[in-house]
Amino acid sequence: PLRSERCVVKVAATEEEKKIRRWRKIALEAGRQSGRSVLPEVAASLESVGAFCRRQEGCDLKLIFWEEETTQRLQDVRPAAEPRSIACLIGPEGGFTRAEVETARERGFQSLSLGPRILKAETAPVAMLALLQHLWGDM
């Protein structure tokens, strides 16, 4: 889970552990329901965009979806080989700041658009995952 500058929902430090347990339970149940062999991982604590990006050094493909990106879309991404691992960032309700996007770019993330519509924070990940699976299959 990310703590970004424009996050509308603020998680108090006293509630963080409880929220993460809940998110892990949801991820586990959703993974089981969909028959995934590899279950989604939820990190142990909230972290900044920079901290998340630093942890992704070994990923084959690093993407940040940003509503201000106007030229690059997912179908424009042409990795040298089919990616075995993908790190993705999807913005909060208020979107990423330009500084957060620049931090991600400095760490090798490509900024992309999900199209001309602004998606809700809870539906954007679903759209992104569907597109990734369409392009590269189950990961």
Domains of the chain: total: 1
d(CA 130, CA 128): 5
Residue 25 domain-assigned (yes or no): no
Distances (CA, A) of 58 to 44, 53, 83, 89: 19, 10, 11, 16
**pLDDT (average), residues 63-84:** 89
Q: What is the pLDDT of residues 77-125, one digit of tens each?
A: 888 788 988 999 998 888 999 999 999 999 999 999 988 888 888 888 8
pLDDT of residue 11: 84
Residue 12 domain-assigned (yes or no): no
pLDDT of residue 99: 97
Residue 51: count of CB within 10 angstroms of its CB:
14
pLDDT of residue 139: 63
pLDDT of residue 57: 92
CATH number assigned to the domain comprising residue 109: 3.40.1280.10
Residue 42 domain-assigned (yes or no): no
Residue 34 domain-assigned (yes or no): no
pTM of the model: 0.85
- Which residues make beta-bridge pairs with 87? 62
pLDDT of residue 96: 94
Residue 67 domain-assigned (yes or no): yes
Domain span holding position 74: 48-136
